[in-house]
C-alpha cells in the first residue's frame, strides 16, 4: 500500500450526501421480451430446450468449459434476469465474475504433484509467468480464488476487532498523513495491511473528507481487482483501515525491477484490461478514480492487480443509472454504458500526479470521468516504455508537453528493442491521450468504448482473473510475512503502540473549532455535484470524524481455510 507523494490538490468546500447503491428499475431494453433477451435466457437456463440442442445453428456460442450449473455469478446478475422476476427487486450495482469452482478442482488435482520451493532470482524478485508457473502458484500456499463476487457475497457486521487485536510486524509504506503496516491478527495469525491515518495531521492538511471518501469506496466495493477492506475503526488519535495484504507489493516496483523497466505488448494489454475492469466498476458505482499510476496498483500473489489508495476519488451523488450500448455484431450481447453513472459529475479541483495529470485539469476548466481514461493511456505507455510520454525536466515543462505535444512511439527498451507497438496499440494510446476530453476514447459510453477497441479484440474480460498474469511475484513463505516484494523502510522515529491505542465509536472532540472549520475547504467549491464529505463543523459538530464508520466486513469464502499444506 502506498501513498501519493506527488499528489496535488486545491481545495474548496462541498456538502455531504449519501451515494445510492441500488437502481430502482432495470433499463427498458431489458424489460421487453425481445429476441435478444430470449437468446440470452436460453444460455443461462440449462433446463430450457434451445434450438442449438435440436441441431440448429446457434446464434452465438459460449466457452465449452463454462459451468452454468454452479454459476452463482449469473444467477445473481440482474442484468440477465427476465422482467417478471425483477418486478419486486431492484438491480444491484455489482460486478459479477465467474466463480472458480473448476479452477479449485484443478488445484486439488495438482496438489498431488508437489513442486520445489521458490527461491529468489539473482536478477529480480519477479519472473515472467507461464501456464505451468501459474498452475503451480495456485496450488502453493494460499488458495487464490475462493472469494465470490455476487451481490450477496458481502455482509456488514458490528465491529469485531480493535487496535489491540493485531500485532505489528513491519512498516510497508509511508505517506504524508499516515503509514501502512503489515499486521497479524492475534486469534487467527492471518496477515493484513493496516493503514493508519493521523487525525491531527488530516485536520491540519484539510484531508478529513478524503479519508471518508476512501472508506465509502472500500466498504462498498466487491471486485477482484480492487483491494478488499475487512475492518475499519478509529481511536482517539487515529483512523484504521484493515485491508487485504497483497504479497506482490507495488506494481511500480515490479516494473522497475524488470529488464528495461517495461513489459511487452501482450503483458501491457493484460494489465490494462484488468485496470479497465476496475475503473468500469468504480464508474458504475458513481466514482471517478483520478489518481491512476503504478504506485497505486498492488500485485496480488497470483500476479493479478488490485487498485488501492482512493483518497483522491470523487463520487457522484446520486450516481446515474447505467445505460445500454447495443452491439454492432449480431453475435455479441449489448454492453453497459457506465458514462451515464458519472454523467453529472464535473469537478474543478487540481488533483493528480504530475506526469499523469490531464490537460483539462491543468487548464482548470473542470474535469469529468474522462481523466481516468487519460491516465490509462499514460499507464499503458509507461508499461511499454518504462517512462511516461510527456515527462519534462521540471513541472512547467511537463505541463507544457501535456498541453501541446503528442506521444512519440519508437522501439521499446531492451530486451524488446526489436519491437515497436502495433498499430492498434498506438491507435488506442493516441485516442486515450486526446487533448479534447469530449473526443477522448471513453467519453461516449465509458469503459465499453475502450473494451470494444481492436487492441482488446483477443481479451476475454469476463474471465480475466482466471488467465495467466505476465508477472508472478516470488513468494518464499506461504503467508508472505517476509515482505520480499516491498521496499525496506527506515526505522520509525515514533513507533505506533497498538496495544495502548483503544478504539472508540464516537470519540470526544479534542480539536479547536478553527481547526475543525478547515475541513470544509479541501476540494471542489465550484463543483456541480455535491461531495460525500463532512460539512463545516464549526459550531455544529464536536467530532469531525463522526461519519467514519467502525465496521467489520464479511466476504463469502473468506471463512474457508486460508492455506493449504502438503
Active-site residue list: 291
Buried b (16+ CB within 10 A) or exposed e, 230-250: bbbbbbeebbbbbbbbbbbbb
Of the candidates 481, 488, 499, 502, the one whose C-alpha atom is nearest the C-alpha of residue 174 is: 488
287 beta partners: 315
Instruction: Give the Å distances, CA to CA, from 524 to 11, 182, 314.
Output: 6, 34, 10
Q: How far apart are CA 23 and CA 90, in angstroms?
A: 6
Q: Let me know: does 58 contact 52? Beta carbons within 8 Å.
A: yes
Instruction: Give the Å distances, CA to CA, from 559 to 146, 218, 306, 432.
Output: 10, 20, 21, 41
- Torsion angle, alpha carbons of 243, 157, 22, 374, to 10: -10
DSSP state of 178: E
> Residue 482, class by beta-carbon neighbours within 10 Å (0-12 exposed, 13-18 middle, 19+ buried)?
middle
Q: How far apart are CA 396 and CA 535, in angstroms?
A: 35
The number of residues making up the chain comes to 566
Phi, psi of 316 (to 5 degrees): -95, 135
Q: How far apart are CA 175 and CA 179, in angstroms?
A: 6
Q: How far apart are CA 441 and CA 438, in angstroms?
A: 9
Of the candidates 148, 231, 143, 149, the one whose C-alpha atom is nearest the C-alpha of residue 193 is: 231
Q: Residue 326 CB: number of other CB atoms within 10 A? A: 10
325 beta partners: 335
Cα distance between the two ends of the chain: 31
DSSP state of 331: T
Q: How far apart are CA 313 and CA 319, in angstroms?
A: 14
Say which residue the cell 497505486 belongs to. 296
Amino acid at each position: 500500500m502506498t501513498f501519493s507523494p506527488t499528489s496535488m490538490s486545491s481545495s474548496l468546500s462541498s456538502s455531504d450526501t449519501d451515494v445510492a447503491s441500488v437502481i430502482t428499475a432495470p433499463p427498458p431494453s431489458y424489460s421487453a421480451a425481445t429476441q435478444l433477451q430470449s437468446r440470452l435466457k436460453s444460455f443461462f437456463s440449462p433446463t430450457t430446450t434451445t434450438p442449438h440442442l435440436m441441431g440448429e445453428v446457434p446464434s452465438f456460442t459460449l466457452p465449452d468449459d463454462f459451468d452454468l450449473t454452479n454459476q452463482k455469478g449469473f444467477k445473481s446478475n440482474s442484468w440477465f434476469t427476465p422482467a417478471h422476476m425483477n418486478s419486486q427487486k431492484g438491480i444491484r450495482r455489482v460486478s459479477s465474475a465467474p466463480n472458480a469452482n473448476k479452477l479449485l478442482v484443478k488445484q486439488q488435482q495438482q496438489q498431488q504433484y508437489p513442486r520445489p520451493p521458490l527461491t529468489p532470482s539473482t536478477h529480480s524478485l519477479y519472473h515472467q509467468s507461464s501456464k505451468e508457473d501459474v498452475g503451480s502458484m495456485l496450488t502453493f500456499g494460499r488458495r487464490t480464488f475462493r472469494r465470490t463476487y455476487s451481490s450477496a457475497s458481502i455482509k456488514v457486521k458490528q465491529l469485531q476487532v480493535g487496535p489491540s487485536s493485531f500485532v505489528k510486524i513491519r512498516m510497508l509504506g509511508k505517506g504524508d498523513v499516515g503509514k501502512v503496516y503489515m499486521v497479524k491478527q492475534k486469534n487467527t495469525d492471518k496477515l493484513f495491511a493496516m493503514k493508519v491515518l493521523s487525525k491531527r495531521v488530516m485536520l491540519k492538511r484539510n484531508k478529513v473528507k478524503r479519508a471518508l471518501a476512501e472508506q465509502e469506496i472500500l466498504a462498498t466495493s466487491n471486485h477482484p481487482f480492487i483491494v478488499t477492506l475487512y475492518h475499519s475503526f478509529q481511536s482517539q488519535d487515529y483512523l484504521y483501515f484493515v485491508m487485504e495484504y497483497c504479497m506482490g507489493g507495488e506494481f511500480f516496483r515490479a516494473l522497475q525491477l524488470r529488464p528495461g523497466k517495461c513489459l511487452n505488448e501482450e503483458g501491457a494489454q493484460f494489465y490494462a484490461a484488468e485496470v479497465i475492469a476496475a475503473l468500469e466498476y468504480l464508474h458504475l458505482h458513481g466514482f471517478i478514480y483520478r489518481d491512476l499510476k503504478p504506485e497505486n496498483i498492488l500485485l496480488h500473489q497470483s500476479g493479478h492487480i488490485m487498485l488501492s489508495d482512493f483518497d483522491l476519488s470523487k463520487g457522484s451523488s446520486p450516481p446515474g443509472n447505467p445505460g445500454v450500448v447495443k452491439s454492432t455484431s449480431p453475435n455479441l450481447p449489448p454492453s453497459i454504458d457506465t458514462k451515464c453513472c458519472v454523467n453529472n459529475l464535473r469537478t474543478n479541483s487540481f488533483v493528480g500526479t504530475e506526469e499523469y495529470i490531464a490537460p483539462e485539469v491543468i487548464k482548470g476548466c473542470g474535469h469529468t470521468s474522462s481523466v481516468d481514461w487519460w491516465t490509462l493511456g499514460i499507464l499503458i505507455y509507461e508499461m511499454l516504455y518504462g517512462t511516461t510520454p510527456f515527462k519534462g525536466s521540471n513541472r512547467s515543462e511537463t505541463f507544457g508537453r501535456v498541453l501541446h505535444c503528442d506521444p512519440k512511439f519508437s522501439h521499446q527498451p531492451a530486451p524488446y528493442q526489436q519491437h515497436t507497438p502495433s498499430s492498434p496499440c498506438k491507435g488506442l494510446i493516441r485516442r486515450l491521450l486526446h487533448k479534447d476530453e469530449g473526443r477522448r476514447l471513453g467519453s461516449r459510453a465509458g469503459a465499453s468504448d475502450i473494451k470494444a477497441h481492436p487492441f482488446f479484440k483477443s481479451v476475454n474480460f469476463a474471465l480475466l482473473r482466471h488467465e495467466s498474469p505476465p508477472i508472478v511475484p516470488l513468494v518464499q513463505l506461504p503467508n508472505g510475512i517476509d515482505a520480499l516484494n516491498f521496499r525496506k523502510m527506515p526505522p520509525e522515529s515514533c513507533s505506533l503502540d497498538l496495544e495502548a491505542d483503544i478504539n472508540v465509536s464516537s470519540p470526544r472532540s479534542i480539536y479547536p473549532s478553527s481547526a475543525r472549520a478547515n475541513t470544509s475547504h479541501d476540494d471542489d467549491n465550484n463543483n456541480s455535484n455535491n461531495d460525500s464529505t463532512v460539512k463545516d463543523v464549526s459550531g455544529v459538530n464536536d467530532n469531525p470524524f463522526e461519519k467514519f464508520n467502525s465496521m467489520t466486513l464479511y466476504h463469502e469464502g473468506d471463512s474457508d481455510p486460508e492455506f493449504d499444506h502438503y
